[in-house]
Amino acid sequence: MNNNQTVGVLGAGSMGSGIAQIAATQGHQTILVDLNEAALAKSEASIQKILARLVDKGKIDQAEADTIFGRLKFTSDITDFEGCGIVIEAIIENLEVKQKVFAELERITGDTCILASNTSSLSIASIASACNKAERVIGIHFFNPAPLMPLVEIIPAVQTSEETKDTARGLIDGWKKVTVLTKDTPGFIVNRVARPFYGEALKIYEEGVADFATIDWAMTELGGFRMGPFTLMDYIGNDINYTVTETVFAAFYYDPRYRPSFTQKRHSEAGWYGRKSGRGYYDYAEGVTMPEPNKDEKLGTTILNRVLVMLINEAVDALFLNIASKEDIDLAMTKGVNYPKGLLKWADEIGLDNVLSQLETLQSEYGEDRYRPSVLLRRMVRDNKTFY
């Protein structure tokens, strides 16, 4: 697919706007459709503001900003997608709604138009099943904010043709993004492997081992993570993060490894979503002092190690189940959620035997299946192997 092909984006929320901005910047005529006129107006103003900021910073000149903006068409008429080479859907995470929309997109667009979903947790196979030509449907999952985050997960469904997969990946690579190929399983790579970053941190808090600030301190200061789990959940929004956790838990047939937390459920029910609501795990009201962490290094190391071995185990299991290659799993976690290192590389550094013994200790202490070590981890320790 080349630059003279038109790109369609459905949904003018922050994700859809971001994707449209990228496509227009990369030289495509871009059509952004949203049935909500207010959302369209907001998107238009926000893209203009972003382009103006890039001009102020000297990243682009005014003529280029005008050219990019000139490639964008904002409309509430979905039939404007008629001549597109690809349409990327970025609307509500609701399967029935998406299936209805994809059936409609298939009627509007030409036979060779690729239909892509930016879903973060729904089955691409289910979405594709709504189309007569399911082979042209694929998952293309950007991370927020799309123009800044380098990673894009490419998710072929069982029905997706090789040609669709190669064309879609080639297109996004051409947009100067880092693409990883992942199997169509719940959470794909990033949202699956990252679950313990939140889940285990919440469990540590619920057991009274440490408070939010101390857990966040351990992960950032000792672990080198850019944000601690509670700061990050407040940033993402507890409503969104909790919903993804519930979706992944149900999708994995209630595997205890992905069990949601009552602490997060209650915060979500209380409307304590985080930054956007002014209150989450932390209080963001004017003049409120942030709580001080307990900087006990021994406690911090215990917290870090417990979360880290759970993350590593999840990454190892994703490799064991052929979700993605080891390179793509490590790339996804460093480029998609800014982890300080790829988890499989990190596992080699710590020592796989160390990771295994910590997991076995946790499993025997709790008697819980959530701590069961991956079969691949056991095999590699037994055969004295490393990932790299």
How far apart CA 370 and CA 363 sit, in angstroms, is 8
Q: Is residue 2 part of a domain?
A: no
Nearest partner of 195 among 334, 331, 333, judged by Cα? 333
Q: What is the pLDDT, as a whole number, of residue 52?
A: 96
**Would you give the distance in Å from CA 185 to the centre of its chain?**
13
pLDDT at 1 over 80: no
Query: What gap in Å lies between CA 32 and CA 26, rounded to an integer?
Result: 15
More confident residue, 169 or 244: 169
Can you give the pLDDT at residue 19?
Answer: 98
**What per-residue confidence (pLDDT) applies to 272?**
97
Hey, how many other C-beta atoms are within 10 angstroms of the C-beta on 288?
A: 11
Q: Which residues are the active-site residues? A: 120, 141, 153, 191
Count CB atoms within 10 A of the CB of residue 85: 20
What pLDDT score was predicted for residue 154?
Answer: 98
Does residue 23 surpass a pLDDT of 90? yes
What CA dihedral angle connects 303, 304, 307 and 310, to 10 degrees?
-120
What is the mean predicted confidence (pLDDT) over 123-144?
97
Q: Note whether 215 and 134 are same-domain residues.
A: no
Determine, yes or no, domain membership for 148: yes
Give phi and psi for 274, each to the nearest 5. Answer: 120, -145
End-to-end CA, the chain: 35
Answer yes or no: do 215 and 173 share one domain. Answer: no
CATH number, position 43? 3.40.50.720
Residue 22: pLDDT band with limits 50, 70, 90: very high
Residue range 177-215, pLDDT digits in tens: 999 999 999 999 999 999 999 999 999 999 999 999 999
Asked if 21 and 161 sit in the same domain, the reply is yes
- What's the confidence (pLDDT) of residue 280? 97
Is residue 128 located within the same domain as residue 245? no
Continuous segment of H or E residues that includes residue 374: none
Q: Is residue 275 part of a domain?
A: yes
Task: Please check the confidence at residue 120 and state whether its pLDDT lies above 80.
Answer: yes
Q: What is the pLDDT of residue 121?
A: 82
Residue 39 has a pLDDT of 96
Token representation of residue 42:
């907001």
The pTM of the full predicted model, rounded to 2 decimals, is 0.94
The CATH number given to whatever domain includes residue 285 is 1.10.1040.50
C-beta separation of 115 from 137 below 8 A? yes
Shared-domain flag, residues 273 and 366: yes
State whether 296 and 270 are in the same domain.
Answer: yes
Same domain for 377 and 260: yes
Cα gap 346→340, rounded to integer Å: 9
Q: Can you give the pLDDT at residue 184? A: 97
Q: Is 234 helix (H, G, I), strand (E, B) or coil?
A: helix
Task: Verify that 175 and 148 share a domain, yes or no.
Answer: yes
| Structural domain of 37 | 7-181
Instruction: Answer whether residue 274 shows pLDDT above 90.
Output: yes
Instruction: State the average pLDDT for the chain.
Output: 96
Mean pLDDT, residues 128-156: 97
- Determine the 3-state secondary structure of 145 from DSSP: coil
| 112 pLDDT above the threshold of 90 | yes
Q: Check whether 4 has a pLDDT greater than 80.
A: no
* One domain for residues 233 and 152: no
Contact predicate 56/96, CB 8 Å: no
Residue 102 is given by DSSP the state H
For 178, phi then psi, to 5°, come to -95, 110
pLDDT at 57: 95
248 and 115 fall within a common domain: no
Whether 202 maps to a domain, the answer reads yes
Can you give the pLDDT at residue 247? 86
Is 143 in the same domain as 171?
yes
71-111 pLDDT tens trace? 999 999 999 999 999 999 999 989 999 999 999 999 999 99
Partners of 8 in the β-ladder? 31, 87
User: Do residues 15 and 90 lie in contact, with contact meaning Cβ atoms separated by under 8 Å?
Assistant: yes
3-state secondary structure of 116: strand
Q: Is residue 388 part of a domain?
A: no
136 and 218 inside one domain: no
Residues near 3 by Cβ (< 8 Å), separated by ≥ 6? Answer: 26, 27, 28
Domain boundary among 181, 207, 229: 181
Residue 116 falls inside a structural domain: yes
- What lies within 8 Å, CB to CB, of 96 at 6+ separation is none
User: Which residues, at least 6 apart from 115, have a Cβ–Cβ distance to it below 8 Å?
Assistant: 86, 87, 89, 102, 105, 106, 109, 131, 136, 137, 138
User: What is the b/e burial string over 11-35, where b = at least 16 CB atoms within 10 angstroms of the residue's CB?
Assistant: bbbebbbbbbbbbbbbbbbbbbbbe
Mean pLDDT of 308-318: 98
Asked whether residue 102 is domain-assigned, the answer is yes
Which of 141, 159, 181 is a domain's end point? 181
The C-alpha atoms of residue 214 and residue 190 are separated, in whole angstroms, by: 25
Residue ending a domain, among 148, 181, 214, is 181
Percent of the chain with pLDDT over 90: 96
Residue 30: its pLDDT value, please?
A: 98
Q: What is the mean pLDDT of residues 378-385?
A: 98
Total domains present in the chain: 2
Residue 48 lies in a domain: yes
